[in-house]
Amino acid sequence: MSKRIGKQTVELINRPKIISTGTVVGPKEGEGPLSKYFDVILEDDKNGQETFEKAESSLVTTAVNKALEKANLKNTDIHYIFAGDLLNQLSASTFALRGLEIPFIGLYGACSTMALSLSMAAMNVDGEFSDYSIAATSSHFSTAERQFRTPLEYGGQKKVTSQWTVTASGAAIVSSKGGEIYPQITHVTTGKIMDYGITDANNMGAAMAPAAVDTIKQHLRDTGRTPDYYDVIATGDLGSYGMELTKKLLLEYGYDVSKVYIDCGVEIFKENNGDKSNPDKCGDKCLDGVMCGGSGCGCSASVFCGYLYKSLLNGKFKKVLLVSTGALLSTTTSLQGESIPGIAHAVAIEFGGAKC
Amino acid sequence: MSKRIGKQTVELINRPKIISTGTVVGPKEGEGPLSKYFDVILEDDKNGQETFEKAESSLVTTAVNKALEKANLKNTDIHYIFAGDLLNQLSASTFALRGLEIPFIGLYGACSTMALSLSMAAMNVDGEFSDYSIAATSSHFSTAERQFRTPLEYGGQKKVTSQWTVTASGAAIVSSKGGEIYPQITHVTTGKIMDYGITDANNMGAAMAPAAVDTIKQHLRDTGRTPDYYDVIATGDLGSYGMELTKKLLLEYGYDVSKVYIDCGVEIFKENNGDKSNPDKCGDKCLDGVMCGGSGCGCSASVFCGYLYKSLLNGKFKKVLLVSTGALLSTTTSLQGESIPGIAHAVAIEFGGAKC
């Protein structure tokens, strides 16, 4: 029995559940309107470590351990961990996880990695290869600046279309166990690499928008759903500019997502108008200095594992489509004049999603 | 029904088949004793491209297209491609595959990536998420030197424990279709990250050997098999020094692999004593200049997709355990004084492997 529906989507017949999440964010992310949804907010973005890279690893460890602790599980209960990050050779993840003794699958999808790791963990559980799998990812403002742009000491200026790499990690435990009280992963739509020839590394939203559009469109076509089937369709981190582009392009394909559409990169850094307890009261303006909004794997990881997951648990949302988006460039490819391909992966998380 | 057997192994009940492979190697690899098993041998390791990085991408495209052509399939027949390489942000794979329009899962396991991508493609097919999935990877001597060591122009000297990054790409099509004439993937053992504190980046064999030992030992324990169940146990690219270490350590655990054990890094560069047509006639000495032998994702990719796969097809081997090995360092982690964690993933490929 094939689980495939349509061109790029599979339905997960066994309905893997997300039984727990763990999140940790940096001080700046803790100033945003989603602060109450995060498990740990750092006071120091070095988290007591010698280097930013080691700090990022410590975030991954913190998020994974939080998720384990909340599910009352030990590392030895976990059959696989699917993880990756933005650093060269996934060093934030591998150095964080080397002590955990869990079979490790390293993934790279740039900022799409949270939806990618959730997709893979969900298929793994659905295919009966594991009872418990972890999906995790991270990013850190200062490691990303050093690796992709310029060292912080250089004081490089941001452009209006730039985004601010989120310092955060999120981990989710996906399981065949647990009852209907947990949100279930019902569908996975895996993205293709899209390249519309964008070469401006300060405008990643534009580079990633076509990938988000393609994956959302394909998900809706494959499942026969309309945008308003979902309470929320959340793109990973297109920022305010990429978000507008995505809305407009989807409308050209006949899909009006405007009523349910949010972007994790915009949500995490929305100016909260002094009311931290209610993200719905925020306007569309972002915190000072973050320009178009947040980016980095840790962005959709922390927003999903924090705000969206907890809003599923508390009944605010019943059906969420997470569409993390990634820009697949490297400093070498940019120096060699290459364009910036994008990718987006979608995961549907629901209560009581009808089985096909 | 769980497919798990033992601690780290799953049995693939539906027996996904490897119905086709494609390989391409550089000129130096074409001088070794496995040359007749490769589909394409380049005369120029830039393959007519402007840069070594673009050349590496062109290798991936060549290997994937060869595999598709031999299976008489089109890109639109393929449901997923699982691929990765050594370059930062997997740029060899992503730039190679952006035109193919196949849902893409980016993987990173350093030089373990071939067994990792085969594992993931096999579980994906076994779990009925796809009819056809591709596993692919690549490496290139000159992109790896530039990224991990020094530019070629610097003329850095190799140490006696060094290895030579293989210029090659291999791709395999894994499918639920096809009859008993094709070798089947019966078991997957996913590795944990092992770190024995090795810090010498010129001695990767020693850094990766404990991971190979751990995964082989766990695979044999989980399946209840002895080493001589297999015609060949092939580690990815430990080189001659890491290979000896692995044999010795496994013997301490009570497993004598000496009769069936080869290392892809040693095989690909063995001096062929003037008889290119018979790798069995080679001694243990490697070609001049490659020191301990080959390394890089492309090493076990080309040796598996070339020599081992074709030897399975022609009946020379019936049962092969591929154990690709990776060293999970980055230049940043080494500069920050970190040790080199290793990982190894194992895939059992057999004819008529008994179902549990």
Mean per-residue pLDDT for A94-122? 96
Query: Could you give the number of structural domains in chain A?
Result: 1
Per residue in B343-352, pLDDT (tens digit) is: 999 999 999 7
Interface of A with B in 7-36 (CB under 8 A): 8, 10
Which residue has tokens 């934030």? A92
Q: How far is B202 from chain A (nearest CA, A)?
A: 17
- Higher per-residue pLDDT: B66 or A273: B66
Q: Average of pLDDT values for B37-55? A: 96
**Closest chain A residue by Cα to residue B143:** A332
| Model confidence pLDDT, tens digit, residues B117-156 | 999 999 999 999 999 999 999 999 999 988 888 777 777 7
Beta bridge partners of B194: B342
Banded model confidence at residue B356, pLDDT cuts 50, 70, 90: very low
Contacting residues of A for B208, CB less than 8 Å apart = none
The answer to whether B119 touches B190, Cβ cutoff 8 Å, is yes
Which of A318-322, B48-52, B146-150, B166-170 has the least mean pLDDT? B146-150
Residue type, A52: F
Q: How many Å lie between the alpha carbon of B75 and the closest alpha carbon of chain A?
A: 12
Write b or e for each residue in B197-222: b if 16 or more Cβ atoms lie within 10 A of its Cβ, otherwise e.
ebeebbbbbbbbbbbbbbbbbbbbbb
| Range 261-300 of A in CB contact (< 8 A) with B | none
* pLDDT at residue number B148: 86
What pLDDT does B203 receive?
79
Picking from B176, B333, B356 by the largest number of A CB atoms within 10 A of its own CB, the best residue to mutate is B333
Q: Give the pLDDT score at B330.
A: 87
Interface check A91 vs B, CB under 8 A: yes
The domain spanning residue B281 has which CATH number? Answer: 3.40.47.40
Q: Is pLDDT of A281 > 90?
A: no
Minimum-distance CB partner of B103 among A2, A191, A330:
A191
Q: Where does residue B36 rank: exposed (0-12), middle (13-18), buried (19+ CB within 10 A)?
A: middle
ipTM of the complex model: 0.95
Phi then psi dihedrals of residue A112, to 5 deg: -85, 5
pLDDT for the residue numbered B272: 64
Q: Is the Cβ pair B333, A120 closer than 8 Å?
A: no
Q: Where are the alpha helices (DSSP H) in chain B?
A: 27-30, 52-70, 91-97, 113-126, 141-148, 204-223, 239-252, 264-268, 297-302, 309-313, 331-335
CA distance B75 to A101: 37
Write out pLDDT tens, residues A45-60: 999 999 999 999 999 9
A167-196 residues touching B, CB cutoff 8 A: 190-195
Average pLDDT over residues B6-14: 95
H-state helical runs in B21-109: 27-30, 52-70, 91-97
Report the residue of chain A nearest B84, measured CA to CA: A108
Question: Looking at chain B from residue 125 to 144, which residues have their Cβ under 8 Å from any Cβ of chain A?
Answer: 126-131
pLDDT of residue B334: 85
Is B234's pLDDT higher than 60?
A: yes
Estimate to the nearest angstrom the gap between the alpha carbon of B163 and the chain centroid. 15
Residue in the structure block whose two tokens are 């999935």: B133
- Is residue B209 within 8 Å of B56, Cβ to Cβ? no
Percentage of chain B modeled with pLDDT above 70: 94
Residue B195 backbone dihedrals phi, psi, to 5 degrees:
-135, 110
Under an 8 A CB cutoff, do A123 and B128 touch? Answer: no
Q: What percent of chain B has pLDDT over 90?
A: 75
- Please give the residue range of the domain that contains residue B122: 1-356
Which residues are registered as beta bridge partners of A165? A295
Choose the weakest-confidence range: A279-288, A330-339, A342-351. Answer: A279-288
Average pLDDT in chain B: 92
Which of B55-59, B93-97, B176-180 shows the lowest mean pLDDT across its residues?
B176-180
Q: What is the model's pLDDT at position A356?
A: 42
Mutation target to probe the B interface, by most B beta carbons within 10 A, among A74, A108, A117, A119 is: A108
Query: Shortest CB distance from B332 goes to which of A53, A107, A108?
Result: A53
Structure confidence at residue A57 (pLDDT): 97
Contacts of A333 (CB under 8 A, 6+ apart): B53, B89, B91, B95
| Per-residue pLDDT tens digits for B78-103 | 999 999 999 999 999 999 999 999 99
d(CA B183, CA B319): 9
Q: Which of A117-131, A181-195, B75-89, B142-156 has the lowest mean pLDDT?
A: B142-156
Q: What is the mean pLDDT of residues B282-297?
A: 77
